[in-house]
A and B are shown apart, each in its own frame.
Chain A
Amino acid sequence: MSAPGNFTIPERGPGIWQPKIQGIVCNWCSYAGADLAGGGRIQYPPDIRIVRVMCTGRLDSLFVLKAFADGADGVLVSGCHFGDCHYLEGNFKAAKRMFMVKRLMKSIGLDDRRFRMTFVSASEGAKWGAVVTDVVNTIRELGPSPLTELKK
């Protein structure tokens, strides 16, 4: 995994592609972890936008697919560590669904590295920074989503 801070501010401008990454994170662990990264001023690339849910168990597989259909270049789902779920076992159920999404992505020819589920606890600010940096770096390597390319 990339170390936090292992990124450079990219060149921006009209016509230059920037990754669009949809993050969906749980309120109790990963959102709190992301807040902690803020408090600790841990720097990571700004290409992710977060939607907060109470638990990753809330995630319908369709949310992830909807994000890809809308043109997301990557999706990051992040919840509590197994056994640490605020609602006992929501993250297990989410993980099962997310494996299904990964299989589906493979079978329709969408690189499943574009979708990731991670586990970041409320005390892991630095890990959150590392995860986001790594996701952004991966997506930059993979380039724009083929679904957006097809629309052109």
Chain B
Amino acid sequence: MAEKKKATTKKNESKKEDTKKVAPVKEEVKKQVAAPAAKPKTAAASAAAPAKTTVGSTTKQEARIGVFICHCGTNIAGSMDIPAVQEYAKTIPNVAYVDNYKYMCSMPGQAVIAKAIKDNKLTGVVVSACSPRLHEPTFRTATKEAGLNPFRFEMANIREQNSWVHMHDREGSTEKAKDAIRIAVAKASLLQDLFPKTVPVEKAAMVVGAGVAGMQAALDLAAAGIKTYLVEADTSIGGRMSQLDKTFPTLDCSQCILTPKMVDVGRAQLIELMTWSEVHEVEGYIGNFDVTVRKKARGVLTPAEAEARGIVGGGCNGCGDCETACPVIKPNEFEVGMKPRKAIYINHPQVVPLLYTIDFNSCVKCGICVTACGTEKRAIDLESKDEFVKVKVGTVILATGYDIFPIENKQEWGYKRYENVITSLEFERLICASGPTGGHLIRPSDGETPKRVAFVLCAGSRDNTGIGKPYCSRFCCMYSLKHCHQIIEKIPGCVPYIFYMDIRSFGKMYEEFYYRIQDEGAKFIRGRVANILEDPKTKNLHVYTDDTLLNRPVDMEVDLVVLAAAVQPKEDTNRTRKLFGVSCSSDGWLLEAHPKLNPCGTTTAGVFLAGVCQGPKDIPDTVASAEGAASAASIPIHKGEVELEPYFATCIEEKCAGCGMCVNLCPYSALALVEKDGRTVMQVTEAKCKGCGTCGGFCPGGAIWMNHFTTPQIVAQIDAFLLGGEQ
């Protein structure tokens, strides 16, 4: 029985395939014949858009639409009169069947649809429920399983855009639901069979950003047998985590747990490391992204590059002779400007790759480094230029990370005005054994060891003044507790004071760590710091706040203030995300496809998010999200092929005048003018077309048929709303 069914579906499909090839054109011709018979009301419409509105009405006469109304428990049924909507739906032209169910997306609900399609020989399905962005795939599958083309399904959104937003307006939402169903039926009546195209997926991936998230994702992808390009804008990998001293709550040394990973990345056969590089241009779609990477001029050759130039045994080996010789001194960004570096530099001794870089903005091209490097290695090329490398990948992971919010914008705390007010990232470098002071915490003003240190939490986070960030930066509470522990441990007699709003210690073993720090003697003062003033003589600082537990004002004199500054998206995030077509939320973090059920995906198929670029995360969450993203990104690659939605444009050649306006409009260069039967007509390269419809919206002759969003379908929807009933 099942076999027989399968055979018939197959037969049907092949039949549909045949008709589909000629469908738009054929119907067009038929329709033009049928046009005079159109009802008087459409006359106005066809005058406005001649012939456009006429396509497909032959199918309209035969349309048998099933309408299925979902209660969604009380989500929908609680705000509108479902029986009234159902009664109304029965009167809509072309509607052959109407039903309702408590949860249409449930298995029994889907069974109702499947049964109705078979019993009533439906040609189209309208499910009136939640948003198509949520359940369109579910119901398309149900439609397909019942033997109907999945693109003959249309959704009427009566939850997100009706019952939930008109909760106290029963009459209004009931009327709106009726209209929504009428509009959906009008479209469903004109829907055609469409067949998604399957394209092969390139067996390679790209990870943008090589912090701990990017490195983890790249390692996972490589372990899964996928060639991975790891693109990093800085000179070496490691990201923010390599700047940290210890990590909470385990107090692991950050470098100790990170460097093995960095070495693994450098060694992995399948990872191609591209440091000092940026994504320059992106073309293509899931499975076939063509990414152009700009390798910034580095001025230093790797051994491989040197060999390519015929310098056998040459190239940079990281000896550092050039650095010693270089006369130019600049602040070291890796040490947050607290240590000098030369114009030719590495960030820190454990960098991967161990390869020097010339900062051409400060290099004076004196050539001393070239001499220092010697005639054997000949690793330095002062005339090197940016290079552009094009790679093809199937999927992409963005792991662009974060920057520190410019906390000097909160002027009341005096950062950059008072020497002894520092940020927590500066604190990390000062307390770190490999940092500028060799791990001795000192006051920047006089080099003395501080005895009283104030930590100001929520510095720029949870700030609704419009200057700071409204969100919680999530890891500042915990690293400030860790800082307290570090100074208690390192400086006997030093007292840390924490000025906090709430201590958010939400992770595994975090709360226990909080108690431990309390026991160790840190002082907690609950109150937001109003302002900080400097004693000009001693350079000590007065921290003013209101202790909200004791309900009295506080003026505390301390030696050093550490601001736990908020985090914000990396400066270049906006440019990168636009290249990949990824949206961001209002606070600038990259927008996930679904905050709960698809936190690593984006609305661009084949592009995934890992780490803090999606929102503030501590290291365990970052690594978890990176592994999630790597797993998601490897799925299409291992599957080997993806289905593309068949929403591409088609040219109705009889109508095309060959003007070429559309060719210039297309952002993907998918359209071209070709000679056909002695005429110039437009031709679509389906693989390049992404289905935006920009061409179809402009074509002066109405010669472009946008699949699934055809002009007749859209006009029918407008008519169905405003004129009501069948037009």
**Is there a chain A Cβ closer than 8 Å to B176's Cβ?**
yes
**Is there a chain A Cβ closer than 8 Å to B189's Cβ?**
no
A29 nearest in chain B by CB position: B583
Tally of contact residues, B, Cβ under 8 A: 60
Task: Compute how far the CA of A91 lies from the CA of B59 in the bound complex, rounded to whole angstroms.
Answer: 32
B718 touching A67, Cβ below 8 Å: yes
Q: Which residues of A contact B164 (CB under 8 A)?
A: 38-39, 41
**Is there a chain B Cβ closer than 8 Å to A114's Cβ?**
no
A56-85 to B contact mask, C-beta < 8 Å, 1/0: 011110110111011110000000100110
A61 nearest in chain B by CB position: B697
Given contacts A52-B132, A57-B693, A123-B586, whether A42 and B578 have CB atoms under 8 Å apart is: no
Q: Which residues of A contact B132 (CB under 8 A)?
A: 52
* The residue from B175, B581, B583, B709 contacting A58, defined by CB atoms under 8 A apart: B709
B578 touching A71, Cβ below 8 Å: no
* The residue from B161, B585, B694, B706 contacting A38, defined by CB atoms under 8 A apart: B161
**Is there a chain A Cβ closer than 8 Å to B308's Cβ?**
no
Q: Which residues of A contact B692 (CB under 8 A)?
A: 54-55, 57-58, 86-87, 90
Determine the interface band of chain A, counting residues with CB < 8 A from chain B: 35 or more
* The residue from A34, A44, A63, A88 contacting B714, defined by CB atoms under 8 A apart: A63
**Is there a chain B Cβ closer than 8 Å to A32's Cβ?**
yes
Task: Compute how far the CA of A20 lies from the CA of B722 in the bound complex, rounded to whole angstroms.
Answer: 7
Task: Compute how far the CA of A38 lies from the CA of B667 in the bound complex, rounded to whole angstroms.
Answer: 32
CB distance from B641 to the nearest CB of A (A): 23
Q: Which residues of A contact B176 (CB under 8 A)?
A: 46, 49
B709 touching A9, Cβ below 8 Å: no
Given contacts A62-B49, A67-B722, A121-B583, whether A97 and B165 have CB atoms under 8 Å apart is: no
A9 touching B706, Cβ below 8 Å: no
B168-210 to A contact mask, C-beta < 8 Å, 1/0: 1101110110011001000000000000000000000000000
B714 touching A43, Cβ below 8 Å: no
Task: Compute how far the CA of A22 lies from the CA of B44 in the bound complex, rounded to whole angstroms.
Answer: 18
* The residue from B172, B668, B694, B723 contacting A45, defined by CB atoms under 8 A apart: B172
A9 touching B168, Cβ below 8 Å: yes
**Is there a chain A Cβ closer than 8 Å to B627's Cβ?**
no
CB distance from B695 to the nearest CB of A (A): 8
* The residue from B48, B166, B167, B647 contacting A66, defined by CB atoms under 8 A apart: B48
A60 touching B697, Cβ below 8 Å: yes
CB distance from A56 to the nearest CB of B (A): 8
A68 nearest in chain B by CB position: B722
**Is there a chain B Cβ closer than 8 Å to A28's Cβ?**
yes
CB distance from B698 to the nearest CB of A (A): 7
B694 touching A55, Cβ below 8 Å: yes
Question: Taking each of B44, B665, B709, which has the highest tally of chain A beta carbons within 10 Å of its own beta carbon?
Answer: B709
CB distance from A30 to the nearest CB of B (A): 11
Given contacts A53-B709, A90-B694, whether A35 and B168 have CB atoms under 8 Å apart is: no
Q: Which B residues form the contact surface with A (CB < 8 A)?
A: 44-45, 48-49, 52, 131-134, 157, 159-162, 164-169, 171-173, 175-176, 179-180, 183, 578, 581, 583-586, 591, 603-604, 647, 665, 667-668, 690-694, 696-698, 706, 709, 711, 714-715, 717-719, 721-723
Ordered by A's residue number, 20 sampled pairs between the chains whose C-beta atoms are within 8 Å are A9-B169, A22-B722, A28-B603, A34-B160, A37-B161, A39-B160, A46-B162, A51-B183, A52-B132, A58-B693, A59-B697, A66-B49, A69-B48, A70-B718, A72-B722, A87-B668, A90-B693, A122-B585, A122-B603, A123-B586
